[in-house]
């Protein structure tokens, strides 16, 4: 069965997200843990979480993927920005214990002139301070396009972070199709080789989720501009192969394409049609 959903606004709460997911034909979804631009998070209402979990069980909607605010930078040069990232991740991970089986995806960060090695060190250091032995949430590093000084532009950079994390069994990776494409991995013409490389460098056992986005730019552009599925340079045929690939087809897929809800509903229906049962 194809597990697919999209990024949804959390402004109306948890139950509302699960209901919205169902209304657009999704059977999972992604949400920001707080305002994506950062700042204080609203209180999470336990009855709302419980209502979401009950609704999801009845509607066969899988546990959502939580996304950290994309403004977090765990490897900033400024100590204040780093400690904001640290405290936000700590708080998010505490909260997420209330959603059984949830995973928490974040952008590793931008090293801003400190160099990739220093950036990797700082990110791993942050992770070593926020992860704890008894936590149930798996934390995912997202593959990045390599815009500016973004860390995570190559599988090797993610591997080097993972190598430094003490509780690395709590860690996984989320592959963003637009980002890896923009990062220089040709998943349109060479999907098999890219997955082999992922397996050799990181290990496919670490791959826990896929962000499905087409790209407005060419492979290796390091731009990070998402496009609707089939309307960009990756192309429909590549997405058909991605969702059906034996090494990917059982993973949850999340759309982050430039769409309103109706556009997401169309893309979900389209991809379901392309999924081989």
Residues contributing to the site for Fe ion (CB under 5 A): 142, 176, 211, 256
Among 84-92, 96-104, 114-122, 224-232, the segment contacting Zn ion (CB under 5 A): 224-232
Rg over alpha carbons for the chain, rounded to the nearest Å, is 18
CB of 55 to Zn ion, least distance (A): 29
CB of 90 to Fe ion, least distance (A): 20
The residue (of 25 and 235) whose beta carbon lies closer to Zn ion is 235
User: In degrees to the nearest 10, what's the CA dihedral of 141, 88, 85, 53?
Assistant: 10
Does the annotation mark 245 as catalytic? no
Q: What residue 224 binds from Zn ion, Fe ion, none (CB within 5 to 8 A, per partner kind)? A: Zn ion
Does the annotation mark 200 as catalytic? no
Does the annotation mark 117 as catalytic? no
Does the annotation mark 111 as catalytic? no
The total of other beta-carbon atoms located within 10 Å of residue 39's CB is 11
Contact call for residue 142 and Zn ion (CB under 5 A): no
Please give the backbone phi and psi of residue 242, each rounded to the nearest 5 degrees, phi first: -65, -50
The residue (of 56 and 145) whose beta carbon lies closer to Zn ion is 145
Could you say which of 157, 214, 224, 267 is catalytic? 224
Buried b (16+ CB within 10 A) or exposed e, 110-139: bbbeeebeebbbbbbebbeebbeeebebbb
Is 56 buried (19+), middle (13-18) or exposed (0-12) by CB count in 10 A? buried
Does the annotation mark 190 as catalytic? no
C-alpha to C-alpha distance for 62 and 190, rounded to whole angstroms: 30
Selected binder of Zn ion within 224, 242, 254, 274 (CB under 5 A)? 224
Does the annotation mark 185 as catalytic? no
Active site residues: 37, 67, 70, 107, 142, 176, 179, 211, 224, 226, 256
Residues that bind Zn ion (CB under 5 A): 224
């Amino acid at each position: 069965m194809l597990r697919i959903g999209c990024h949804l606004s959390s402004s109306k709460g948890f139950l509302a997200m699960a209901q919205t997911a169902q209304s657009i034909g999704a059977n999972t979804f992604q949400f920001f843990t707080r305002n994506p631009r950062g700042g204080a998070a609203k209180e999470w209402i336990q009855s709302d979480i419980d209502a979401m979990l009950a609704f999801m069980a009845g509607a066969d909607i899988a546990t959502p993927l939580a996304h950290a605010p994309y403004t977090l930078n765990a490897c900033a040069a400024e100590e204040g920005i780093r400690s904001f990232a640290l405290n936000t991740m700590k708080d998010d991970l505490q909260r997420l214990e209330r959603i059984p089986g949830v995973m928490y995806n974040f952008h590793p960060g931008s090293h801003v002139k400190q160099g990739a090695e220093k950036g990797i060190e700082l990110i791993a250091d942050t992770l070593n301070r926020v992860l704890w032995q008894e936590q149930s949430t798996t934390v995912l590093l997202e593959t990045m396009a390599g815009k500016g000084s973004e860390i995570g532009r190559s599988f090797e950079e993610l591997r080097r972070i993972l190598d430094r994390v003490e509780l690395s069994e709590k860690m996984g990776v989320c592959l963003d199709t637009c980002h890896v494409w923009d990062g220089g991995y040709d998943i349109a013409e060479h999907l098999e080789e890219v997955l082999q490389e992922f397996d050799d460098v990181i290990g496919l056992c670490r791959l826990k989720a896929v962000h499905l986005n087409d790209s407005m730019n060419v492979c290796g552009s390091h731009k990070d501009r998402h496009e609707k599925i089939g309307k960009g340079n990756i192309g429909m045929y590549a997405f058909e192969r991605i969702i059906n690939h034996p090494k990917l087809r059982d993973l949850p897929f999340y759309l982050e394409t430039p769409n309103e809800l109706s556009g997401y509903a169309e893309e979900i229906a389209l991809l379901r049609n392309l999924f081989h049962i």
